[in-house]
Amino acid sequence: MQPRDLVVTARRTVGRGQGKPRQSDLTKALSTAYYAMFHALCWNCADCFIGKNRPARNQDAWQQAYRAVEHGEARKRCSRMEIRNFPEAIQSFADFFVFL
């Protein structure tokens, strides 16, 4: 699952109709945006632990690392004050992830 595809889906969900989006469309778009961020986090964790180079990495190990991230634990870690020790881009990601 590609996180960018989920972002496109979220945007499309909100922009479907004419005028103001329905509450159900907004809720669906937020949920989809959350999953885009979660899958981006999983993807990056797997790349960091196993490697980005697809031909050179062990695909089973990469999938295991990708699937090891748990929603609740990720949210809890992103909301801790220690996140402020990371670069600003990571802090922004964590803040938005917790917000969603």
Give me the residue spans of the domains in the chain: 1-69, 70-100
pLDDT of 25-65, one tens digit each?
999 999 999 999 999 999 999 999 999 999 999 999 999 99
Residue pair 41/74 in contact (Cβ under 8 Å)? The answer is: yes
Are 52 and 67 in contact by the 8 Å Cβ rule? The answer is no
Q: Whole-angstrom Cα distance, residue 28 to residue 30?
A: 5
| Alpha helices in the chain, H assignment, sequence order | 3-14, 23-50, 59-68, 71-79, 88-99
In three-state secondary structure terms, 100 is coil
Confidence of residue 20 (pLDDT cuts 50, 70, 90): confident
Mean pLDDT of 75-84: 95
Tokens, residue 22: 């329905």
**Residue 65 burial (CB count, 10 A):** 20
The confidence score (pLDDT) of residue 45 equals 96
Kindly indicate the confidence band of residue 1, based on its pLDDT and cuts at 50, 70 and 90. Answer: confident
